[in-house]
């Protein structure tokens, strides 16, 4: 509740500033730049390497995207012994109904 009534011309609707934006705090151009850079990073992988990484990801219980993102972000190739990191990646997955 408000401590004081809203001023004249206020329609008691929600604030316009607080709406979540899929592109984040920056301008919408940031979203499209990020999207293009992500797609370019995934396309530059030669097919035999992509197939190998997909198989490694599947063996670890990760998606190809999750495995490739770990390589791009941290420069690390996950192994079966990296159980804590794999668990953390799986925890970040969005819930699917």
pLDDT greater than 90 at residue 39: no
Strand intervals (E) in 7-87: none
Q: What is the pLDDT of residues 66-89, one digit of tens each?
A: 999 899 888 889 999 999 999 999
> What is the chain's mean pLDDT, rounded?
81
Q: What is the pTM of this model?
A: 0.61
pLDDT top residue among 24 and 45 = 45
Cα separations in angstroms, 8 against 11, 12, 13, 73: 9, 10, 13, 50
pLDDT at 34: 79
pLDDT greater than 60 at residue 38: yes
């Amino acid at each position: 509740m408000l401590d004081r009534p809203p001023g004249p011309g206020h329609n008691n609707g929600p604030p316009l500033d607080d709406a979540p934006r899929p592109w984040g705090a920056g301008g919408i151009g940031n979203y499209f730049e990020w999207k293009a850079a992500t797609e370019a990073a995934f396309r530059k992988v030669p097919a035999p390497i992509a197939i190998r990484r997909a198989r490694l990801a599947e063996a670890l219980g990760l998606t190809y995207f999750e495995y490739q993102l770990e390589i791009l972000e941290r420069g690390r190739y996950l192994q079966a012994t990296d159980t804590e990191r794999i668990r953390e990646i799986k925890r970040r997955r969005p819930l699917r109904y």
